[in-house]
């Protein structure tokens, strides 16, 4: 692409560094900002600078936070005895959006994946073990993606906290709502038959 303006080129280059945004999309976004009032662009760039420079990670659960402890950890209405272990912040947002979970979280910051060079040491597993050893937690729920890496991580952590004898569960696997049986993979279907549930429990 040939630009007649270096300022435009610089902005397009910065946008196209973002994942999934090519040069053409970047140009479209920059030209959109150029059409809007200057205040809009200022707000946009301020929001990003502030977010990047001021955002913190909760010292307790490693979730994203504006303060040292996140709003979930400091909320007295949430059950301290229920701990949900997730891979990343996006999973926290997804679960929070269901409004069905009233416990606290622990963000691992990744998942054990030797092929990608990610071992247990790079994840916040030590702090999780410490939290569990404190004794407040009654049940730990693993909400990790249902694949080999996820299962490995669950297995690894479960072994690490075995001595505390707390209840360890994982989110239910099965056919998704709106999914169709005939298109479900064999593994999911097989597991959903093995782990069938009483209708009385299902219609609650």
Site membership for its own copies, residue 27 (CB under 8 A)? yes
CA atoms of 144 and 61, how far apart (whole Å): 16
CA atoms of 101 and 83, how far apart (whole Å): 10
List the structure tokens of 128: 């999780």
Q: Which residues contact 127 (CB under 8 A, 6 or more apart)?
A: 62, 106
Which DSSP letter does residue 68 get?
Answer: S
Q: Pick from 22, 34, 158, 167: which binds its own copies (CB under 8 A)? A: 34
Site membership for its own copies, residue 178 (CB under 8 A)? no
CB of 176 to its own copies, least distance (A): 18
Which residues inside 137-176 make contact with its own copies, applying CB under 8 A?
none
CB of 88 to its own copies, least distance (A): 8
Which residues inside 50-79 make contact with its own copies, applying CB under 8 A?
50-55, 58, 63-66, 70-72
Identify which of 68, 58, 66 has the alpha carbon closest to the alpha carbon of residue 106.
58
Site membership for its own copies, residue 5 (CB under 8 A)? yes
DSSP conformation letters of 149-170: HHHHHHHHHHHHTGGGT-EEEE
Query: Are the CB atoms for 124 and 62 separated by under 8 Å?
Result: yes
Which residues inside 82-111 make contact with its own copies, applying CB under 8 A?
88-90, 92-93, 96-97, 99
The binding site for its own copies (CB under 8 A) comprises: 1-8, 10-11, 13-15, 17-21, 25, 27-34, 38, 40-55, 58, 63-66, 70-72, 88-90, 92-93, 96-97, 99
């Amino acid at each position: 692409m040939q630009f007649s303006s270096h300022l435009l080129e610089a902005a397009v280059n910065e946008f196209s560094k973002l994942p999934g945004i090519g040069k053409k999309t970047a140009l479209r976004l920059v030209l959109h900002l150029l059409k809007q009032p200057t205040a809009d662009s200022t707000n946009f760039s301020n929001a990003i600078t502030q977010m990047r420079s001021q955002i913190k990670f909760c010292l307790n659960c490693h979730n994203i936070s504006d303060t040292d402890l996140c709003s979930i950890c400091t909320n007295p209405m949430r059950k301290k005895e229920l701990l949900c272990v997730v891979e990343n912040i996006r999973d926290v947002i997804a679960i929070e959006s269901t409004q069905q979970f009233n416990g606290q979280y622990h963000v691992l910051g990744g998942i054990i994946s030797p092929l990608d060079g990610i071992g247990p040491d790079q994840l916040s597993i030590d702090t999780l073990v410490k939290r569990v050893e404190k004794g407040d937690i009654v049940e730990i729920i693993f909400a990790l993606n249902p694949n080999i890496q996820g299962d490995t991580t669950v297995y690894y952590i479960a072994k690490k906290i075995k001595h505390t004898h707390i209840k360890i569960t994982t989110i239910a696997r099965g056919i998704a709502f709106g999914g169709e049986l005939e298109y479900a993979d064999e593994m999911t279907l097989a597991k959903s038959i093995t782990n069938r549930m009483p209708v009385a429990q299902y219609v609650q």
